[in-house]
Structures are given as C-alpha cells and as structure tokens.
Structure 1
Amino acid sequence: MRIIAGKMKGLSIKAVPGHSTRPTTDKVRESIFNMIGPYFQNEVGLDLYAGSGALGIEALSRGFSKVIFVDRDYKAVQTINENLKRSHFKENAEVYRNDAKIALKALKKRNIFFSYIFLDPPYNKTTVSDIETIQSFGLLSHSGRIIVEHAKEFELHNQIGEIVRTKYETYGSTSISIFSYKMNTRGI
C-alpha cells in the first residue's frame, strides 16, 4: 500500500498483519478521494474501523489538519501508530483502541465536529446504526460527509434520518456510498 497524493505521495505504508482486517486497495482509496475532492485545507476527519489507517493518512497527506483513528484490534492500532510515525503525521492524529460505539460516545462528550467521517467496517457488519449514532450525537458538521466502504451486496438506504446518499460507486466487490445532510445534497 502507498499514499496516492499530497505531501507524502508515494510513501509505502504497512498493512495490518494477519487476516483480522481487509485493507482498502489503492485503487478504491484513490476513487474515494476523486469523489470527495482531491485536496483539502484544515479539515478534521474521523477514521472509524481504521485498520492500517490508510484512509486517514491519505486525508492528512491531502491537507486535513487532524484525523482521529479508531479501531478495536490491537494489531491495527500498532500498525496505525507505525504508519503515522513513518508518514510524519503523528502530531496531527489521535489513535484509540476502542469499539466504534464506545468511541462515538466518547467523541460526543468532547463536542467535536467532523468534516469527513470514513466508515470501513467489516463487510458483515452493518453501518446503518453507526450513521444513526453519528447523526444523533451531532458529530458530523452541517457541510460534512460520511464515506462508507461496504460490500457491493450490502444495500444501504438512500436516506438515514436527515442524512442522504449523494453518491454511489462500485469497484469490483466493493461499493462506496457518500452521505451528507439533506441541505447539502448539492456540491458533491
């Protein structure tokens, strides 16, 4: 795996050892950033189910000012920390070993608003409840986006509460759905 664009373009990053995670391929990661915009300025992101941290590190390389990484797997958290050190983004990141639901509750208490939230859960895990929780906790800024990587066979609703799907693409067995608040359906 490598960083595709930005400050650390071309840098190799490690995958999580073993088979506990499924890394986002370079092609899918590049497609995600083509869908949401290639470069950013001072955005704050959340990489939930972070795995190796590739999505969040790519975001930092492209101009995010901060990304919070969450994964419950010990090997994943170690890998994220190694990749952050290797990419020189350690000071722009927070890394937590925690369950997604517990992490979202903790973030609510901190009163943080995210511009972009990346959800890449195990393909057999539903993300609808995560989107509902993010919405009910007010973690997504009003102009923010939720980017969900999921199995092509897994059907997500076009609308979940006040969050609507604004883009959908499929790459082999992987699909990408992008959600934002109803009032922000233009501009993607």
Structure 2
Amino acid sequence: MRVISGSAKGRPLKAVPGTGTRPTTDKVKEAIFSMIGPYFDGGQALDLFAGTGGLGIEALSRGMDKAVFVDLEYKSLEVVKSNLAATRLTEQAEVFKNDAQRALKALSKRDTQFDLVFLDPPYRMKNGDQLMLQMEELGLLANEAILVLEYESSYVYPEQFGNFECIRKTAYGETAVSIYSYDKSRDTQAVQDKEEEHHE
C-alpha cells in the first residue's frame, strides 16, 4: 500500500497487524479518487472507520486542508499516526479513538462541517445510510458534501434517501463503492414539487 498521488505520492503505508482490518486496495483507492477528485482545493475530510488511514491520507495528499481520523481499535490508531508521520501530514490531522456514533456526537459540538467523508465500516455492519443521516441531523455536512461508502458488494444500499443521492457506484470483487452527494435543498425542492402537483 502506498500514497498514489499528490504531495506524499509514492510513500509506503503500513498495514494494521492481524486480519481484523481490511485496507482499501490501491486499485480501489485509485478508482475512488478518480471519481471524486482527483485533486481538491482545500476542505475538511472525515475518515470514520480509519483502519490504516489510507483514504484520509490520500485526500490530504491530494489537497484537502484537514482530516479527522476515527477508529475504535488502538492498534489501528497507532498505524494511522505512523502513516501520518511517514507522509509528513501529522500537522493537518486529528486522530481519535471512539466508535463511529459517539465520534459524530463529539464532533458535532465543535462546529465543524465536512466536505468529504469516508465510510468503510466492517462488512457485518450495514448502517452506512443511518450514519449519513445521523451526520446530517448533527449538522456535520457541508452542502454538496461527497460521501464515499465502501461495503460488501452483495449488499444493496438505496440510490437515494433523504438529501443523499448516489452519483456513482462500482464494484471490485467483493467490495462495492457508492459515492453519494449531499444537497440540503433536495428536500425543499421535493416539497415544492408536491405543492405544485397539489395546485394543478
């Protein structure tokens, strides 16, 4: 595993020891960033099930200003810190040990909004959409935020729910990636459309 492009291009990334973590392969990572970037003009990123930190680090390398990394496993956080040091991106990162839902509640108290969110929960958890709705409820998403959801390809998430719409979807073997865009005016538009139908 390595950083594919940007300021830390080519730097190797450590993996988390053991088999509990499933790092995003370089091939999938490259595909994700060609869909959402490939480069960024600043912004805040959140890597919610950080693992090795590979996705958040790639986002920083490609121009994001700041990234928050969250993981529940102590050994994952050690690897994230080590990978941030190796890529010289420590100054632009914050690393927290917490579970996803608690982390979101804690982050909501800090008046931060994210432009880019990576959700790569363990495959047994099928709650990516609920976490996205929780982020919206807590005011953590900038308008037009992009959310990258990685999950088991045999599972199907809705194309559209609330103010989220799937704009790209792709599968690589047992891994699927859905890219959602968040637009808070989507709801208002739907209400207006309904009202217009009612008046016709």
TM-score, length of structure 2 as denominator length:
0.89
What root-mean-square deviation, in Å, do the aligned CA atoms of Structure 1 and Structure 2 show? Answer: 1.1
> Is the contact made by 1:131 and 1:160 (CA closer than 8 Å) also made in structure 2?
no
Query: Offset of 1:34 from its aligned partner?
Result: 0.4
Is 1:8 paired with 2:8?
yes
SS at match of 1:146: strand
One-letter amino acid of the structure 2 residue matched with residue 161 of structure 1: G
CA distance in structure 2 between the aligned counterparts of 1:180 and 1:143, rounded to whole angstroms: 6
Supply the distance in 1 between the matched residues of 2:168 and 2:139 (Cα, whole angstroms). 22
The aligned counterpart of 1:52 is: 52
Which residue does 1:34 correspond to in 2? 34
Superposed counterparts of 1:1-188, under 5 Å: 1-126=1-126, 127-182=128-183
Distance 1:181 1:44 in 2: 15
For residues 160 and 132 of structure 1, what CA distance do their matches in structure 2 show?
Answer: 9
Report how far residue 181 of structure 1 moved.
2.3
The alpha-carbon deviation at position 143 of structure 1 amounts to 1.5
Identity value in percent: 46
State the 1:41 CA deviation.
1.5
1:123, CA displacement in angstroms? 0.9
Q: Distance in 2 between matches of 1:13 and 1:26?
A: 11
Using the TM superposition, give the Cα deviation of residue 160 of structure 1 relative to its aligned residue in structure 2, in angstroms. Answer: 2.2
Counterpart code for 1:73:
E
Indicate the SS of the match to 1:69.
Answer: strand
In 2, distance between residues paired with 1:40 and 1:164? 21
Which stretch has the larger CA shift, 57-66 or 130-139?
130-139
Q: CA deviation at 1:154?
A: 1.2
Distance 1:111 1:155 in 2: 32
| Residue type at the aligned position of 1:176 | V
- Aligned partners of 1:5 and 1:58 also within 8 Å: yes
Classify the secondary structure of the residue corresponding to 1:20: coil
C-alpha deviation, 1:135, in angstroms: 1.4
Bigger CA radius of gyration: 2
Counterpart-to-counterpart distance in 2, 1:136 and 1:93: 24
Contact 1:71–1:100 (8 Å) recurs in 2: yes
Instruction: Render the CA deviation track for 1:143-182: whole Å, top value 9, x for unaligned.
Output: 2111001110111011221111111111111111011124
